[in-house]
Amino acid sequence: MRIRKYKEAISEAMVEAMTKDDQIFVTGHAVAYPSGIFGSTAEVAERFPDRVFDCPSMENAFAGIAVGAAAMGKRPVYVYPRADFMFLSFDNLLNLACKWRYMFGGNAGRVPIVLRAIVGKGWGQGATHSQSPHAPLAHFPGLTVVLPSTPADAKGLLLNALQADHPVVFFEHRTLFETEGEVPDTMEPIPFGKARILREGGDLTLVATSLMALEATIAADELEKQGIGVEVIDPRTIRPLDEEAILRSVAKTGHLIVADTSWELCGFSSEVAALVSEKGFHHLKAPVRRIALANCPAPVSLPLESAFYPKASTLASAALALLKKEGADVAGIDREDYFKGPY
């Protein structure tokens, strides 16, 4: 086992996949700059200069260009340094890419494209540099939506995305880029639709996506010290969703909190709440609790921003409240934010 940063794991996956498959190319704004998307494309840019090239700011057309290239046998990887720019791609992504196989009856071939979207947070990123549209995208049949939270998962899931036969949207939280974790020397692709149990516990199930999975483990570790067993489930992909893992855990704990990196209304946390109320209602000992962004756009000013984002202490407090337990003060558990800007 080696310790690798999240951004290094992503880079490793790209290098390994591009070494094996010369149909993969990488483009997007600034992918070929020395900074290489926060370090994640710098190595492939150096190793495969013909297959890693910058793209103009044309997010609308390029999603369709990726489809047309994929239809001829390429495997485009299109990188959005900020996921918010992905909104410009929604036409080609949602009307064409994710329907391509179905609406031509399987006769127009496959369009294996990978869209890497980096989600910003903190240091005043503000309303339009901090959004994660994974829930609206997961709404659409034909797409696969991936949100890895650990370096090993980032690598294994990206390897799988780069050999998948359909469009994959891959959300990478900017805050995770410098986090470290164990990454096996050799990794196989991790299949989609299999959740990872990050912590085992018997008192409460905490389903958490992306950065919130990291916050959830911090909360779980603290609560364990207080004698409370929290099972942290990172779904890793929300389409397909590992319903079994969530339902099995709730059957064991009877309590569910869902923490997500986006908003609550019509969001992923609501989806899991609906799933459990429909298929696991009789196991629930208390109402499901959703923890998501405050119901407003992301503000810039520090005190406002701090109030906007839930964190480990938010989850720990919510868990104690749900379990009706008086716990020790959890305010001090939050990790220090290494991110010093600007973007």
Partner 1 sequence: MITPELHLQMHKELIRIRRAEATLAERYKKQEMRTPTHFGLGQEAVPVGVCAALKRTDVAYSHHRSHNHYLAKGGSVYRLAAELFGRATGCSGGRGGSVHLTDRECGFIASSAILAEAVAAATGSALSFAMDGSDRISTAFFGDAVAEEGAFYECLGYASLKNLPVLFICENNGYATESPLSIRQPEKASITGRVAAFDIPTREVDGNDLRAVYEAAVEAVTAIRRDSRPFFLECATYRWLEHVGPWFDHELKRTYRTKEEVDGWMARCPVKRSAAYLVDNGIATQDQLSTWEAEIQARIDADVARAYNDPWPDPQHLMEHVY
User: Which one of residues 124, 126, 142, 299 is an interface residue with partner 1 (CB under 8 A)?
Assistant: 142
Place of tokens 């998962």: 153
Q: Does 223 bind partner 1 (CB under 8 A)?
A: no
User: 129 an active-site residue?
Assistant: yes
Q: Which residues contact 100 (CB under 8 A, 6 or more apart)?
A: 67, 71, 108, 109, 110, 111, 142, 167
Considering only 5-13, 100-108, 230-238, 285-293, which stretch makes contact with partner 1 by CB under 8 A?
100-108
Residue 79 near residue 41, CB atoms below 8 Å:
yes
Site pattern 17..56 for partner 1 (x: CB under 8 A):
--------x------------------------xx----x
User: Which one of residues 104, 281, 338, 343 is an interface residue with partner 1 (CB under 8 A)?
Assistant: 104
- Written as six digits, the tokens of 25 are 């190319």
Least distance in angstroms from the C-beta of 270 to partner 1: 23
User: Which one of residues 2, 21, 33, 91 is an interface residue with partner 1 (CB under 8 A)?
Assistant: 91
Could you report how far apart the first and last alpha carbons of the chain are, in Å?
Answer: 31
Residues constituting the chain: 343
User: If we measure between CA atoms, which residue out of 213, 211, 188, 14 comes closest to residue 121?
Assistant: 211
User: Which one of residues 9, 17, 18, 70 is an interface residue with partner 1 (CB under 8 A)?
Assistant: 70
Considering only 103-111, 155-163, 226-234, 298-306, which stretch makes contact with partner 1 by CB under 8 A?
103-111
Give the separation between CA 146 and CA 304, rounded to whole angstroms.
29
Nearer to partner 1, 25 or 309 (CB): 25
User: Which one of residues 64, 124, 136, 299 is an interface residue with partner 1 (CB under 8 A)?
Assistant: 64
Place of tokens 């989850």: 315
User: Which one of residues 9, 10, 13, 66 is an interface residue with partner 1 (CB under 8 A)?
Assistant: 66
Q: Name the H helices within the chain.
A: 6-20, 36-39, 42-47, 59-71, 90, 100-103, 134-138, 151-161, 210-225, 243-253, 268-279, 302-308, 312-322
Nearer to partner 1, 192 or 268 (CB): 192
Q: Does 197 bind partner 1 (CB under 8 A)?
A: no
Q: Does 102 bind partner 1 (CB under 8 A)?
A: yes
Q: Which DSSP state fits 262?
A: S
User: If we measure between CA atoms, which residue out of 107, 206, 209 comes closest to residue 149?
Assistant: 209
Least distance in angstroms from the C-beta of 324 to partner 1: 43
Least distance in angstroms from the C-beta of 280 to partner 1: 24
Q: Does 317 bind partner 1 (CB under 8 A)?
A: no
